Amino acid sequence: MHPIAILVAQRLSLGALLLLAASALIFGLTEVLPGDAAQAILGQAATPESLANLRAEMGLDRPAFTRYFEWLGGILTGDMGNALTNKLPIGEQVGRRMSATLFLAFWAAIISVPLAILLGLIAVRYQNRWPDKLISGVTLASISLPEFMVAYVLIFVFAVQSMSWSIWGWFGMAPVAFPSFASVSPGMPLSAQLYAIALPVAVLTLVVLAHMMRMTRAAILNVMQSAYIETAELKGLNTFAVIRKHAFPNAIAPIVNVVMINLAYLVVGVVVVEVVFAYPGMGQYLVDAVVKRDVPVVLACGVIFAAVYIILNIVADVVSILANPRLRHPK
């Protein structure tokens, strides 16, 4: 068998084991939560009979080991069960919420990934000069601020204060304010949806852009120390040509790894952003479920988030393998 096929099969097997371990960990954590889940859902006024019925419905009267494998079997067959709070199928809710989260992550990735790579190349091209220092300073400031702080600053500037800016009159435009609540629905035209998610996309872009740009810069600078880079420079190639033709292709593996990690963050780490902007995605769904102690929904969201991280990391490993000439052309 080809070495690449063997390595890919190993990564897939390891990913399956990690997902199984993550599912067991998530289930175990929900089991050790303090308090009675049935009591938390029904409230203090619940009767003993209603508590007993809900515990039986949730399976709390059976061993945790049995309930885990029943839940895992349902996940593997696509049956996530019903939510305890509204009795609706979790799969339908997850499908709708996940599509909203992916829509938000897609537009953030479309902007942040190319821009991060471009800024990283510019920073390397003008290393230790003012463009490099300016880009590095702005990205450091962006990394230093927590995402909820970035979100509130953008809301204050572009949703509250922008209506009073005199700059609109300079261009003969009416004042424009972006919405602080990212309310979208399937029937909205694309332009209206993009307008509604402008601020959440800006927050996510600022958060992941800085990390990807700095890692791109570091990866290319590490390659620039190689002997073949010096040879290319001695041949008379200008700095940008050396970066584009020699340094960047050989720095693909670490760049892909950091891009995939940040893409996973755009899907999994949007909880704070979705809560701040009241965006109807997976993060908001998870927070609502935690507040209401809806354990089946928490389990489903946890497994989906773990699967996204593991799958994207497997993709990053596979791309890194394919980017290695020694593995593409074995002797």
Name the 3-class secondary structure at 139: helix
CA atoms of 191 and 184, how far apart (whole Å)? 11
Give residue 172's pLDDT band: very low, low, confident or very high (50, 70, 90): low
CA atoms of 264 and 24, how far apart (whole Å)? 21
Domain membership flag for residue 313: yes
Per-residue pLDDT tens for 294-314?
888 888 888 899 888 888 888
Per-residue pLDDT tens for 257-307?
888 888 888 888 788 888 888 888 888 888 888 887 788 888 888 889 988
Query: What percentage of residues in the chain have a pLDDT greater than 70?
Result: 89
Query: What percentage of residues in the chain have a pLDDT greater than 90?
Result: 3
- Helix H, strand E, coil C: the string for 252-309 is HHHHHHHHHHHHHHHHHCCHHHHHHCCCCCHHHHHHHHHHHCCHHHHHHHHHHHHHHH
Q: Which residue has the higher pLDDT, 60 or 209?
A: 209
Query: Which pLDDT score, from 0 to 100, does residue 171 have?
Result: 56
Domain membership flag for residue 121: yes
CA atoms of 219 and 127, how far apart (whole Å)? 13
Domain range for 95: 3-33+80-328
Q: Which residue has the higher pLDDT, 120 or 8?
A: 120
Residue 148 has pLDDT above 70, yes or no: yes
Domain membership flag for residue 213: yes
Q: How many domains does the chain have?
A: 1
Tell me the CA distances in angstroms from 34 to 37, 40, 50, one per residue in order.
Answer: 9, 10, 20
Q: Which residue has the higher pLDDT, 30 or 149?
A: 149
* Residue-averaged pLDDT of the chain: 81
Domain of 109, CATH number, reads: 1.10.3720.10
Domain membership flag for residue 51: no
Domain membership flag for residue 91: yes
Domain membership flag for residue 48: no
Domain membership flag for residue 96: yes
Give the global pTM: 0.83
CA atoms of 280 and 288, how far apart (whole Å)? 11
Domain membership flag for residue 181: yes
